[in-house]
Structure formats: structure tokens, C-alpha cells
Amino acid sequence: MSKPDLNLLITLDVLLAEGSVARAARRLRLSPSAMSRALARLREATGDPLLVRAGRGLVPTPRAIELRERVRHLVENGEAVLRPAETLDLAQLAQTFTLRTSDGFVENFGPGLIARVTREAPRVRVHFLQKWDRESTALRDGTVDLETGVLGKSMGPEVRTQALFRDRFMGVVRNDHPLCRGRITPARYAAGKHILVSRRGQDHGPIDEALRPLRLGREIVTTVSGFSTALALARASDLIASVPERHTGNLRAGMWSFPLPIPVPEITVSLLWHPRLDADPAHRWLRGCVRDICSKELAD
């Protein structure tokens, strides 16, 4: 069996990016006929037409769509291998990194991260972006450099992950709330009026699943999209917020927190990034900063 011509990967990458034989030929500085021959070789090698005519243009086949990201990664990795190694000069590094995360993460870990980044790389800026879902599209298209959060089913399989810390849910009420006095039983906890945190507007969560075997249910008075909003409401009312302990440490200051009287599975907060940035020196440095700050804050 003959070995495939790996030069065709570059041609395939440009063809799938441009969606046009003529534009791909101009980009690679080839004649249209040479590019057409290259496309024919690619079709033979992959056993798929890759680009088919639709009206006056070409559209990718399902196989081409499947290959597009994989080929892009292969070409980028190949270029990185053949590129001279760079020494990262943090003092001269001028870059803005976008970190998509929750308000609670920014509140608890943001100050330490900004201080660390400013001290080591004064020309670097960190842009925090609110996280509304668990989709990995922003990581794939490069609009986001890093994310933090709990892994979801919608997360792309190619996304790199590293656990930052484990967290458990706590009940939180305002000071002088009736739950501040006496033992909190599952029935007493469930009997209160609750705030449900759900980005998707669902009407139940893991806590409700834990109450169900006890034939107990919470009265959900309102649903919000974030833990900081839930705590703000609980601080000014008789409502009960149930939030991750470590993720909301600073946000719960001045409030009364208590362990949930039912076993609820812990969550793992992870760091997420796209594999194309694995070997990037600046990105590796930033990932290390986030990991170190989370470890330091939790140790403190």
C-alpha cells in the first residue's frame, strides 16, 4: 500500500477553508488546472467528492465538514513543529486573553489572577466574558482562549480539560433567617422557599433529585441564571439559595451558610481550552496562572 502524499493536507485545508477551487489556487499560487488536479487526487485518496457543485458555487460534503477541523489541527501542528522554538518574554508580551467563566469565579479568583498576570506580564490584559452555556463553539472558533466550568454533554470531544477543584453545594440564607436557629433536617430545608439556579430555565436540579427518595420537594419561587444573582436575592429576602461552596466564597460574605441535610453529588470545576493552543507558550503560561491561583485561594 502506497504512502499518502502529506502535502495534500495543506491543499485540502485551503480548499475546505475557501470552498472554491479558484480562490484556493490563488492562495496557494497555483494555476486553476493544477488545483483541479489536486482536488481530483484528494477525492481519490479520501474516497469522497469533498466539494460538489451547487448553483454557481461549491459546497462541502458531510465528509468534508467532518474533516475540516481535523485537517486544520494537523496543518497547525505541522507548522508548529517546523517553527523555531520561541522563548516567552513575559515582560514584552502584549496580548489580550479572553476567559469565559461565571460571575462567581471572577469574584473569587479574578483579583488574584489579575494581580499575578499584572505582576509577571504587565502588558497582558484578561477579558472576562460571561458564560451562558456549555457549548464549545467559542473555543473552536478562537473567540475565547480559556473557559472554566463543569463539563457538559454539549462540550466538543476535542476540547482539552484539566480539573481545577471539586466543590459541594451549601445552603445560604440571610442572617436572622429562621433556618439560622435549630437543626436543619431535610424536611425543614425542603419546606422553605427556594431559588433555583439554571441557565436553561429548568424546573428542577440535582438537589430535587436527592430529595425525591425522601418524598420531599422544594417550593421553587424563582429561577435565575447565576449563583451571584441567587445570593443577592437570598440576602434581601427569606428565600434559600443553594450554591457551590468554594465557587461563591466571597459572594456569601455576611450571610449564613449551612451544609445541605441531604447527600448531593459534588461537582468538578475544570479548565477548558482548544488543542490548537496546547503548545502555545503564552497560553500555557496563562493556564498555569489560573491553576496556581485556584490552588492558592483554596489553600488559604
- For the segment 216-269, what is each residue's pLDDT rounded down to a tens digit? 999 999 999 888 899 999 999 999 999 999 888 888 999 999 999 999 999 899
101 shares its domain with 241: no
| Pairing outcome for strands 96-101 and 219-224 | unpaired
The rounded Cα 70 to chain-centroid distance in angstroms is 20
Query: What is the DSSP secondary structure assignment for residue 182, as one 8-state letter?
Result: S
Question: pLDDT tens across 143-187, in order?
Answer: 899 999 888 766 667 789 999 999 999 999 999 999 999 999 999
Tell me: do 105 and 247 sit in the same domain.
no
- Alpha carbon of 177 to those of 55, 99, 235, 236: distances in Å? 68, 36, 10, 11
Domain identity same for 260 and 295: no
The rounded distance, in Å, linking the Cα atoms of 11 and 16 is 9
What amino acid is encoded at 210 in this protein?
A: A
Question: Do 103 and 249 have their domain in common?
Answer: no
Total number of domains in the chain: 3
Is the pTM higher than 0.75? The answer reads: no
Domain assignment of residue 20, given as a range: 7-82
Grid look-up 486573553 returns 97
Q: Residue 268 burial by CB count (10 A; 0-12/13-18/19+): exposed, middle or buried?
A: middle
Here the CATH number for the domain that contains residue 40 is 1.10.10.10
Using left for φ > 0, alpha for ψ between -120 and 50, and beta otherwise, residue 284 falls in alpha
Which of 53, 82, 111 is a domain's end point?
A: 82
Same domain, 252 and 186: yes
Last residue of a domain, one of 82, 109, 143: 82
Residue 184 near residue 261 (C-beta atoms within 8 A) = yes
In a domain, 91, yes or no: no
> Is residue 274 domain-shared with residue 161, that is, in the same domain?
yes
175 & 135 share domain: no
